[in-house]
Structure 1
Amino acid sequence: MLIRKPVVEVFEAFVNPDITSKFWFTKSSGRLEAGKQVTWDWEMYGFSIEVNVKAVEKNSRILIEWPGQRGPTTVEWIFTPRPDGTTFVSVTNK
């Protein structure tokens, strides 16, 4: 997905729950940092999920593991800055 903001702002929006809660989940137990476990809550659905943060490479990559239907799955976000000041974010569920 293309986001019309610089990579520094886009990356911060994904690791900082004060920002992420404005567009994705409603609440988080903490900032995404490698080695931490956080809980994401979607209060409007009465749903929460435990997220294990496997890797955080500033302004570049986030790798998490969370429960899937057939066991844990990993999700990877790659942040690619573009020459025009926008950021391309690719998301892969492995």
Structure 2
Amino acid sequence: MDLKFSVAGRIAKPVDEVFETVVNPDRLSHFFTTGGAKGRIETGAVVTWDFHDFPGAFPVHVVEVEKDRRIVLRWGSAEKAAAHDPANSRETVVTMTFEPLDDGRTLVRISEEGWSQTQEGLKASYGNCEGWTGMLCAMKAWLEHGLNLREGFYK
């Protein structure tokens, strides 16, 4: 069994606006990265995301960006890798897709994979599934209603 998940939600905004909200660090910092985002998400870039609930800036490697359609990221997992790994960490791959719907809304799907088939891998995958679900909810509330759901939620 591969440990992977996919979460999705519909946002009542056009695909170009939703996509820009994810790739633009100023916009992403309004609803997702409670400690701020640095760097625009572009193919080959390494950006940083900081969260009050997980202090310290996380490096996020941008593998691929297809404007208004898809983003592929690679980043560190909370799961520790095997002891022989010099960095002693494991990375996962996150794929975000953006699909314009006939009614003007955008379907956003976020998938992540790459954990080991261990109890630690399972726990780390559940934590990230929770985080991405929260991100989709927060993005919907911010884009559609100007509300920051994460403000004060974690700290």
Find the counterpart in structure 1 of residue 37 from structure 2: 28
Alpha-carbon distance in structure 2 between the residues aligned to 1:55 and 1:28? 18
Find the counterpart in structure 2 of residue 51 from structure 1: 60
Instruction: Please state which structure has a larger fraction of its residues in helix.
Output: 2
Deviation at 1:28, TM superposition (A): 1.7
> Whose radius of gyration is greater, 1 or 2?
2
Instruction: Tell me the SS of whatever aligns to 2:48.
Output: strand
Q: CA RMSD in A?
A: 1.2
Deviation at 1:27, TM superposition (A): 1.3
TM-score, L = length of structure 1: 0.93
Greater mean deviation of Cα atoms: 84-93 or 21-30:
21-30
Find the counterpart in structure 1 of residue 11 from structure 2: 3
Question: Moved runs in structure 1, 4+ residues, more than 3 A?
Answer: none
Which of the numbers 106, 112, 118 marks the counterpart of 1:93?
112
Greater mean deviation of Cα atoms: 39-48 or 80-89:
39-48
Write the deviation string for residues 40-91 of structure 1: whole angstroms up to 9, x where unpaired. Answer: 1114652321100000000000000000114110000000000111000000
Find the counterpart in structure 2 of residue 73 from structure 1: 92
Identity %: 40
Write the deviation string for residues 10-65 of structure 1: whole angstroms up to 9, x where unpaired. Answer: 00000001111111003122100100111111146523211000000000000000
Instruction: Tell me the SS of whatever aligns to 1:46.
Output: strand
Instruction: Please state which structure has a larger fraction of its residues in strand.
Output: 1
Q: 1:47 to 1:13 in 2, by over 3 A?
A: same
* Gap regions ≥5 residues in structure 1: none
